[in-house]
Amino acid sequence: MTRKLEPGKLVLATHNAGKLTEMRDLIGPFGFEVTSAGELGLAEPPEHGTTFEENAKTKAVAAMQATGLPALSDDSGICVDALDGQPGVYTADWAELPDGTRDFAMAMRNVEEKLAEKRASDPKDRTARFVSVLCLAFPDGHVEYFRGEVEGTLVWPPRGTLGFGYDPVFKPEGFDITFGEMTAEQKHGWKPGDATALSHRARAFKRFAHECLGVA
């Protein structure tokens, strides 16, 4: 049985501003006193995992050990079928520049160039999914995982300036616009009491809220 989390202080184990905004939006209604690893000046732990679960645990446990507080992390990425699931857990690495900063416009071009090499121009050959795994680390070392996925198709050129990362090239199944063209509310697609959730992170968070917070 999943361990319950009582409202109180919680560390969001991320240094990514876009991800932090989304996680804060999602957890906002539940009465937690939230801070982030970035705001606390915590070092980013090296991520050597080969799965989203391993990397999520690395981040959550590092933040928990540094603060003594429960910590919630997200490890997420885009998995492109024609590229055998790449970039997957290396989604952010594909955007990394020599100086350590990240250029997601470059990363999106890299994906498109690899699809072009495979002559993947038809939408049926450009299927992909966003995956998010949340890890909650309790102060005694116990961890819980919550996974969410959303299927879609990659478009080119990028569309929209909202969101972050690869959002401008990802058109979720059943929609005519990309994540980059959606407002935060459209992309999250879920609030307490709603039946559905759209984004991968919202779907993972819905599981977290249901199983850990007792929210319907």
Q: pLDDT tens digits for 159-180?
A: 999 989 999 999 999 999 999 9
Q: HSE, CB side, 13 Å, CA atoms: give it for residue 209.
A: 24
Choose, from 25, 74, 75, 93, the residue flagged as catalytic.
75
Quick one: tokens of 111? 């994906």
State yes or no: is 75 an active-site residue. Answer: yes
CA–CA separation, 30 and 39 (whole Å): 20
pLDDT in tens, 80-120: 999 999 999 999 999 999 998 999 999 999 999 999 999 99
Dist. CA 132–CA 202, nearest whole Å: 9
In contact, 215 and 192? CB cutoff 8 Å: yes
Rounded to 5 degrees, φ, ψ at 146 are -140, 120
The model's pTM is 0.92
Mean pLDDT by runs of 10 across the 216 residues of the chain is: 91 90 86 93 94 98 98 97 98 94 96 97 97 98 97 98 95 96 85 76 92 86
pLDDT for residue 28 = 83
pLDDT of residue 194: 65
User: Given strand 170-172, what is the order of strands in its sheet?
Assistant: 33-36, 9-12, 71-80, 127-137, 143-154, 170-172
Instruction: Please report the domains of the chain, with CATH numbers, ordered by start residue.
Output: 9-212 (3.90.950.10)
Q: What pLDDT is recorded for position 22? A: 85
